Amino acid sequence: MTTEPVQGSPALSSTSTDAVSLETPQSEPLLPDVLPYIQHGFETIQVQAGYNAAEHNHAVSVPIYQTTAFDLGSAERADALFGFESDDALYTRMGNPTVAVLEQRVAALHAGAFAPAPTAIALASGMAAITYALFNAAGRGGRILTNYRLYGGTVDAFTHIYPELGLGIDLVEDADDLAAYEAAITADTRALFVESVSNPLMAVADLEALADIAHAHGIVLIVDNTLATPYLLNPFEYGADVVVYSATKALSGHGNVIAGIVVESGTFDYASDTYPQFSQPLWFLRDGNDVPRTILQIFSTNPFCGRILAVYLNYLGAALSPFDAYLILQGVETLSLRVKKQVANAQALVSWLEGDSRVAWVSYPTATESPYRDLAAKYLPRGAGSIVSFGFAGTEQQKRRFLDAVRLWGYQANIGDARSLIINPAETTHIELTPAARAAAGLRSETIRLSLGLEDSADLIADLAQALTQAFA
Ligand SMILES: *Cc1c(COP(=O)(O)O)cnc(C)c1O
């Protein structure tokens, strides 16, 4: 260990910063384990949780561990690593220190009295996060109950790809009809899956009611919280059991990475007969005496993420790269600040769009005509997010002219970026949907989706105004 003089960091100790100590500082991170997170605010957690510089040569910025493998050290240590008996890294597909900081930080952003010890696992994309979470819950022969109001790729995967792989999906027609979920649950249903705030129409799900329905049937509620972000909504607070993110979007927030994250509350009991995949002894999890063990035995506090690691990352392999984890960590440091500004920009755009005759309707949870105002007041008191959709009140030809005429807005299939983005989802991000699925999702061809960035709202409005003028000229 180093014997260099080390200045006490005010963040890490309460001793005077003038005192120069010859001792190695205590390896106490500011937020050593999950319980203390609850005592810290969101903005403290987003910059500090999960990282102890003293464990990384006192590097202030989280180091990028760009390495495939980690030295096993000794035969005894190799036994522990391969026997899932140590959290130390072994091979980057199965764990990496940079990725681990991201996982701990995002988990900490979800901690609270309702979920004192959440855990997270980072993956190579939001689609990998959704896929692994749903397959993990479904096990063999299980079905997932959801609705059409989802990210386009998800609906397509549900109706065409997942069934090919043995995962059955049931879709309720009206995503707001709680009785429809209740009626559609069968003995094979293993999870309810919803977007807390939907892409692109910003419908707000009644998470508490959905969690009650799921729990009454002994199954989990899995929530895609990508649009809301953990800053605006912590689904665990309302009974959700698993939260998934496309970290590609607001968590990283700079349009430079593809990533996903699954977070589990740590409060759901997977020991029931509904989820045999967590209680079955597995040979590859055997102990030193060749006795097969179960997921619940090895990952007692984080069985959901543990099984994603041991089964899906291990064998299907959508691992996040350390460099990409670093980029997301950088983004997470400013998450709340970016989201606050984006919410303010979204509100400004909503007010402006509502007053323009070339706009047929505006879809945002706090918009004047929104049917989700009450749910937004309950679930999104800090703001309703950075996406605003509206109906273009012109011909198809005029709509295309409008899209071609915007200058400041990026015409891109992305959201949650620092830059403001615009798109026509029915013809792009949601093109996979059949006309029937599009109708069930409420997605009409006139829909224009805006993703608010960090620019001056006056400039964004002026650019839309000139593009509308050109389109209708
Ligand atoms: C983008 C997105 C996804 C897919 O995430 P990728 O990182 O692109 O794989 C899933 N859900 C929602 C709500 C999204 O916006």
Q: What is the CATH number of the domain that holds 425?
A: 3.90.1150.10
193: enclosing H helix or E strand: strand 189-195
CA 246–ligand 1 middle distance (angstroms): 5
Of the candidates 308, 329, 350, which is a domain's last residue? Answer: 329
Cross-strand bridge partners of residue 120: 263
Q: Are residues 348 and 367 in the same domain?
A: yes
Task: Give the mutation target among 249, 256, 386, 421 for probing the ligand 1 site: most ligand atoms within 8 A of CB.
Answer: 249
**Residue 182 maps to a domain:** yes
In a domain, 2, yes or no: no
Neighbours of 335 (CB within 10 A): 23
**Residue nearest ligand 1's atom 1 by CA:** 246
Strand ranges (E), 405-459: 410-411, 421-423, 447-451
Ligand 1 centroid vs 167 CA: distance in angstroms? Answer: 20
The residue count for the chain: 473
Q: What is the pLDDT of residue 38?
A: 65
Triad 180, 183, 188: Cα angle to 5°: 120
Query: From ligand 1's centre to the CA of 233, what distance in Å?
Result: 17
* Residue 368 φ/ψ region, left for φ over 0, alpha for ψ in the -120 to 50 degree band, beta for the rest: alpha
Same domain, 210 and 271: yes
Distance 262 CA to ligand 1 centre (A): 12
**What is the per-residue pLDDT for 159?**
84
Question: Do 309 and 339 belong to one domain?
Answer: no
Q: Which atom of ligand 1 is nearest to the CA of 227?
A: 13
Distance 378 CA to ligand 1 centre (A): 25
* Domain assignment present for 408: yes
Structurally, the chain folds into a number of domains equal to 2
Q: Is 245 found in the same domain as 209? A: yes
CATH of residue 189's domain is 3.40.640.10
* The token pair that represents 141 in the structure block: 């022969």
Ligand 1 pocket test: which of 246, 251, 257 has the largest number of ligand atoms within 8 Å of its C-beta?
246
Are the beta carbons of 422 and 448 closer than 8 angstroms? yes
Q: Are residues 70 and 202 in the same domain?
A: yes
> Cα separation of 51 and 39, whole Å?
17
Q: Are 71 and 91 in contact (CB under 8 A)?
A: no
C-alpha dihedral sign at 238, 241, 244, 250: positive
| Cβ pair 455, 414 in contact under 8 A | no
Residue 22: what pLDDT? 44
Residue 5 lies in a domain: no
Q: Whose CA is nearest to atom 6 of ligand 1?
A: 126
pLDDT at site 135: 97
In sequence order, which residues have a C-beta less than 8 Å from that of residue 141 and are 6 or more positions away? 166, 168, 188
Q: Which atom of ligand 1 is nearest to the CA of 128?
A: 9
In this structure, the residues whose C-beta lies within 6 A of any atom of ligand 1 are 125-127, 130, 151, 195, 199, 224, 226-227, 246, 248-249, 258, 260, 415
Q: Is residue 298 part of a domain?
A: yes
Q: Whose CA is nearest to atom 5 of ligand 1?
A: 126
Q: Is residue 96 part of a domain?
A: yes
Q: Are residues 378 and 281 in the same domain?
A: no
Point out the domain boundary residue: 282, 297, 329. Answer: 329
150, 199, 257, 321, best to mutate for ligand 1 pocket (most atoms within 8 Å of CB): 199
**Does a structural domain hold residue 322?**
yes
Same domain as 370, residue 293: no
Among 329, 349, 376, the domain-final residue is 329
149 DSSP 8-state letter: -
**Residue 349 shares a structural domain with residue 250:** no
* Backbone phi and psi for residue 389, each to the nearest 5 degrees, phi listed first: -115, 150
Based on the domain organization, do 284 and 352 belong to the same domain? no
Shortest-distance atom of ligand 1 to CA 414:
1
Indicate whether 1 belongs to any domain: no
Q: Which of 443, 366, 454, 445 is nearest to 410 (CA)?
A: 454
Distance (Å, whole) CA 426 – CA 389 = 12
Do both 466 and 343 map to the same domain?
Answer: yes
Gap between the Cα atoms of 241 and 393, Å rounded: 41
Q: Rounded to whole angstroms, what are the CA distances from 62 to 7, 86, 100, 105, 357?
A: 19, 22, 11, 12, 50
**Residue from 125, 134, 146, 151 to probe ligand 1 pocket by mutation (most atoms less than 8 Å from CB):** 151
CA–CA dist 298, 362 (Å, integer)? 49
pLDDT digits (tens, 9 = 90+) for 65-94: 999 999 999 999 999 999 888 989 999 999
Q: Which residues of the chain fall short of a pLDDT of 50?
A: 1-34
Ligand 1 atom with the shortest distance to the CA of 260: 7
pTM, to two decimals:
0.92
Residue 37: predicted pLDDT: 63
Q: Which residue has the tokens 């970290």?
A: 247
Question: Which structural domain, as residue segments, surrounds residue 61?
Answer: 10-329
